[in-house]
Amino acid sequence: MSYNYYNHSFDVSAELGYLLQSSEDFDVKITVGKDLDIKDFGAHSIILRARSVYFQKALSRHWAREEHGTYILKKPNVSPDTFDTVLKYIYTGTIAFDNVGDHALNILLASDEFELHNLTECTQDHIIKYHSSWIASNLLILIRVVSHNDRFKKLRTHVLRLICRNPLILFESDDFLTLDEDALYLLLKSDDLELEEIEIWNYLVKWGIAHSEIDQDPTNWTAQDFAAFRECVSRCIPLIRFCQMSSNEYYIKVRKVFKKVIPEEIDEQVLQYHLNPGTVDKSQIPPPRALSVSLDSKLINPKDAAIISSWIDQKEDNFYSFANNPYKFKLLLRGSRDGFDVKTFHNLCDFQGPTVIVLKMQKTGELIGGYNPLDWRGFHYEYINVDPHRNSNIRVRKALCEVPYNNECRNTLDSFIFSLTNRANPVLSRIAKDQAIFWDGMKGPCFGETDLCMKASSESADAPITVSTTYSSMSSSASIRQQSQINWFSRQKNYQRKITDTEAFDVEEFEVFLVDNYYLQFIRIVNSIIRKSWELARLGYERGYEIYSEIPNDKLKMIFDACVVASLIANIEHFYLHSFKYFVIYY
């Protein structure tokens, strides 16, 4: 891939390239590389000066060494391969990158040294666009590079975003303790660092101990050890958002052990914040990090929600941060609060729209779940024939009743299951073939036939389901015996990969979230109209006629039209919309 940043015509670029290859009239000799990797390059001083501020200085009388009319320069810190690429760019304005991230990084460093600012911008764009895997594998190198140079702002922003969204990749690596202070300062300064504040403090302590070369146990420290540690971390301590810790965390894990290290003004500020918050000048307190965004969950945090949202939008590399997550997670069900049974699930979660399900397994503590872009449904409506022995003058011959689903399959390409057990390396498993979602009145959420399913115990599975067709109410009820035990199982079949090695398990906690944004709100409104249309039909003709006489015509038409649209969307054939006398208006 090539980039052309000069406005020269192709002919001029080609001529300058030919001039470089011809070696004619060179008046500059540049020796680059070191040890066994050394090479001499020739160039024209007039072109170097015109293209680079660096060479304007380097080829001045006060700097350059001249021998027999030739300027002599040495650049041992630049490899021959890198300089060859840069020199061709200087002459032609065209840069040719190979597929190796290290080569692009070397060009970036050389472009900065030679003050080729257009090339610096171009190379940052190239690295970000074409070397995402290499960046993820070299975060430590890159954070060191970008933390020392303000001209690498694009790459710095990109690398910081990657680290802040998944900080454990760096903070839990063996290389974390080798970070220099500038790189660590840059990370701790970020408002988007997705770690709890007490965790950030613990990592700073770990880093400070390593760089102070003192005992790892603070209870064994001498006065000199505390002084050495304080000097090492003094620049970073003001970056810790102590007020975002709980009072117990600050007192027990910070103040009680490290009071000699915390500046008095910071300690006083934190104490006032917790004991008498009305007296604290909030403008003097560092703003909370984005992780403090609230999410009503005992199982996942805002960062987890942002990752799941990224998967929803098919973003598997460049995840949303919780600060720019376009989705809201609204808690519909929590097992410890509402119940773990199938009936509770359907009562609270049916017909709600797209949902995310998260559960924590007993014994192993694994955190797994799934995303359903459709509704959950435990029942559907059917017309049931009325007892033929009833009065023959009855106007309605059928009643609309709720009938439980039984392994009703629904296909979608957007569902997925996942594991957040190892948050540094979350597992995503998208649907691989048909049978993505199953609706069943005797089961809870079912992803695939067996990939992640909640079902009633064998005892409850045999419980009868009865449909009431009493004419007076024109309604039905599905009575499902409440389960005394719920079985969960996960065996990979319809999704791309398994998310746990445990096939059958119980859960310690279970949560269901409505996934919400403006588009999904619209879909949910349409679904609610459809559901209301079913309810209208169940009321019966007589009640509908009474309501009809009470509603102004304009209102009647609006409601009627909405129900017609809803019936068309749902492809409901039993509404008998061709005859208004069989349709019910509910107001």
pLDDT score of 84: 95
Say if residue 583 is exposed, middle or buried (CB neighbours under 10 Å; 0-12, 13-18, 19+): buried
Q: Is residue 374 domain-shared with residue 474, that is, in the same domain?
A: yes
Q: Is residue 269 domain-shared with residue 334, that is, in the same domain?
A: no
Mark 252-263 as b/e (b = at least 16 C-beta within 10 Å): ebbbeebeebbe
Q: For the full predicted model, state whether its pTM sits above 0.85.
A: no
pLDDT score of 68: 87
Has residue 497 been placed in a domain? yes
8-state DSSP, 234: T
Q: Round to whole Å and give the CA distance between 467 and 475.
A: 9
Q: Is residue 222 domain-shared with residue 358, that is, in the same domain?
A: no
> Any bridge partners for residue 188, and if so which?
none
Tens of each residue's pLDDT in the chain, 587 residues: 665 555 545 567 788 888 888 888 899 999 999 989 999 999 999 999 999 999 999 998 888 888 888 999 999 999 999 999 999 999 999 998 888 899 999 999 999 999 999 999 999 999 999 998 899 899 999 999 999 899 999 999 999 988 987 898 899 998 899 999 999 999 999 988 888 899 999 999 999 999 999 999 999 999 999 999 999 999 999 999 998 888 888 999 999 999 999 999 999 999 998 888 777 777 788 877 766 567 889 999 888 898 999 999 998 877 887 767 889 999 999 999 999 999 999 999 998 889 999 999 998 999 999 999 998 998 876 666 655 555 545 444 555 577 788 889 999 999 999 999 887 678 999 999 889 999 998 999 999 999 999 987 553 333 333 333 332 332 333 333 334 356 899 999 999 999 999 999 999 999 999 998 755 555 556 555 555 555 555 554 444 444 444 445 554 545 555 555 555 444 444 443 333 333 333 33
Number of other residues whose CB lies within 10 A of the CB of residue 239? 18
Q: Is residue 414 domain-shared with residue 311, that is, in the same domain?
A: yes
Has residue 113 been placed in a domain? no
Query: By C-alpha distance, which of 514, 480, 513 is closest to 359?
Result: 513
For the stretch 260-274, pLDDT in tens is: 999 999 999 999 988
In one-letter notation, the amino acid at residue 329 is F
Q: Is residue 319 domain-shared with residue 285, that is, in the same domain?
A: no
Q: Is residue 460 domain-shared with residue 536, that is, in the same domain?
A: no
Q: Is residue 313 domain-shared with residue 340, that is, in the same domain?
A: yes
Count of CA atoms in the C-beta half-sphere (13 A) of 77: 6
pLDDT score of 470: 31
Say if residue 493 is exposed, middle or buried (CB neighbours under 10 Å; 0-12, 13-18, 19+): middle
Q: Is residue 470 domain-shared with residue 444, that is, in the same domain?
A: yes
Name the region of 147 (left: φ>0; alpha: ψ -120 to 50; beta: rest).
alpha
pLDDT score of 405: 86
Count of CA atoms in the C-beta half-sphere (13 A) of 144: 12
> Any bridge partners for residue 333, and if so which?
512
pLDDT score of 487: 83
Backbone angles phi and psi of 215, in degrees to 5: -60, 140
Has residue 287 been placed in a domain? yes
**Angle at CA of residue 144, ends 88 and 211, nearest 5°:** 150
Contact 82, 110 (CB under 8 A): yes
pLDDT score of 460: 39
Paired tokens of 11 = 């002919």
pLDDT score of 228: 96
Print the domain residue range for 548.
Answer: 524-582
Q: Which helix (H) or strand (E) holds 211?
A: helix 197-212
Q: Is residue 411 domain-shared with residue 487, that is, in the same domain?
A: yes
Q: Is residue 278 domain-shared with residue 307, that is, in the same domain?
A: no
Strands 507-516 vs 504-505: parallel, antiparallel or unpaired? unpaired
Contact 371, 310 (CB under 8 A): no
Q: How far is CA 216 from the centre of its chain?
A: 35
Has residue 364 been placed in a domain? yes
In one-letter notation, the amino acid at residue 415 is S
Q: Round to whole Å and give the CA distance between 445 and 116.
A: 58
pLDDT score of 485: 53
Q: Is residue 279 domain-shared with residue 309, that is, in the same domain?
A: no
pLDDT score of 139: 92
Has residue 334 been placed in a domain? yes
Task: Decide which of 261, 292, 323 is a domain's last residue.
Answer: 292
Strands 2-4 vs 28-34: parallel, antiparallel or unpaired? unpaired
Q: Round to whole Å and give the CA distance between 407 and 412.
A: 16
Contact 544, 583 (CB under 8 A): yes
Strands 443-447 vs 437-439: parallel, antiparallel or unpaired? antiparallel
For the stretch 44-58, pLDDT in tens is: 999 999 999 999 999
Paired tokens of 258 = 């490290």
Q: Is residue 356 domain-shared with residue 440, that is, in the same domain?
A: yes
Number of other residues whose CB lies within 10 A of the CB of residue 522? 10
3-class secondary structure for 493-553?
Answer: CCECCCCCCCCEECEEEEEEEEEECHHHHHHHHHHHHHHHHHHHHHHCHHHHHHHHHHCCH
CA distances from 392 to 174, 386, 545 (A): 84, 11, 20
Backbone angles phi and psi of 234, in degrees to 5: -60, -35
> Any bridge partners for residue 428, and if so which?
418
Has residue 381 been placed in a domain? yes
Has residue 457 been placed in a domain? yes
Task: Decide which of 292, 326, 344 is a domain's last residue.
Answer: 292
CA distances from 351 to 259, 332, 373 (A): 55, 12, 12
How many structural domains are present in the chain?
3
Has residue 8 been placed in a domain? no
